[in-house]
Amino acid sequence: MTERIGLIGYGAIGEEIAAALDRLGERDKLVATLVRPRRAAPNAVHDAAALIAARPDVVIECAGHQAVRDYVPDLLAAGIDCILSSVGVLADAAMAARLDQAERAGGGRLLLPAGAIAGLDGLVAAALAGIDTVTYTSYKPPHAWAGTPAEQSIDLDSPIAEQVFFEGSAREAAAAYPKNANVSVAIGLAGIGIDRTRVRLVSSRKVDDPLGVIEAAGAFGRFRFDILALASPANPKTSALTGYSLLQCARLGGAWPIAKLAR
């Protein structure tokens, strides 16, 4: 079991992880939290060097795509395993190559857990058996899409029950919606790739919390996963399940359904 955990970011997910460690009686495992100056957090540090100096076995990133770019290559190069929430950053091929290179140079593993969704194990198995199509549809209430490019496509205040405002590949979804479509890339990497995985993003008045639907079909048969995961109380964009997926990945030393198995 992992004894020393570091965090990058102390927002909705970071606070949920710290609270879960408290409930488990494992708070001492949180050896450093990388936050912006003046942000209070358990064992707060403010740069990658200080995080590395705290000697975590594993670091959980829950801060966003830019934080991955800024810190994760150095951590991997220092031999530290990194668990990403912001899996969508791998939609940027140059960044994915940089992370691969840092892994090879330093020995730290880049771990990509299921986050807000479920079913990666089925996708990984089906990828071997043969999958023809994978579609991920993300339904979130209108306010969860505020501050995203959805505002340029649709009127979020409209009384229309459901508005599909994006249809495209997982790569396109993750690049355009970095705070809402990270799981598209986890699904893509587990299954038929991020360019062949289709994504639909929907502003829906029929749900109060994020509803993710994964549908896959092929030589293996077909399956459908519906995940109605309650939104984090602190962030309507984020399913509260996410932090627990990241934390279990850390606690189990990376032995958790991870998208990267299939790459």
Ligand X SMILES: O=C([O-])CC(=O)C(=O)O
Asked if 11 is part of the footprint of ligand NAI (rule: CB under 6 A), the reply reads: yes
Using CB atoms, what's the residue nearest to ligand NAI?
A: 11
> By C-beta, is 9 or 73 nearer to ligand NAI?
9
**Would the annotation count 182 as a binding residue?**
yes
CA pair distance 3, 26, nearest whole angstrom: 9
Choose the contact partner of 181 out of ligand X, ligand NAI, none; CB within 5 to 8 A by kind.
Answer: ligand X
Q: Report the Cα 259 to chain-centroid distance in Å.
A: 10
Is 116 annotated to bind ligand?
Answer: yes
- For ligand NAI, which is the closer residue by CB, 178 or 218? 178
Please give the Cα distance from 76 to 99 (Å, whole number): 8
CA 65 – CA 51 distance, rounded (Å) = 18
Site for ligand NAI in 151-210 (CB under 6 A): 178-179, 182-183
Interface residue list for ligand X (CB under 6 A): 116, 179-183, 210, 212, 237-239, 242
Spatial CB neighbours of 174, under 8 Å, sequence gap ≥ 6: 87, 88, 89, 90, 91, 181, 182, 184, 185, 194
- Can you tell me the distance from the alpha carbon of 46 to that of 194, in angstroms, rounded to the nearest whole number? 33
Is residue 10 within 8 Å of residue 35, measured between CB atoms? yes
Q: Enumerate binding residues for ligand NAI (CB under 6 A).
A: 9-14, 34-36, 62-67, 70, 85-87, 115-116, 178-179, 182-183, 232, 234-235, 238-239, 242
Binding-site residues for NAD(+) sit at: 116, 182
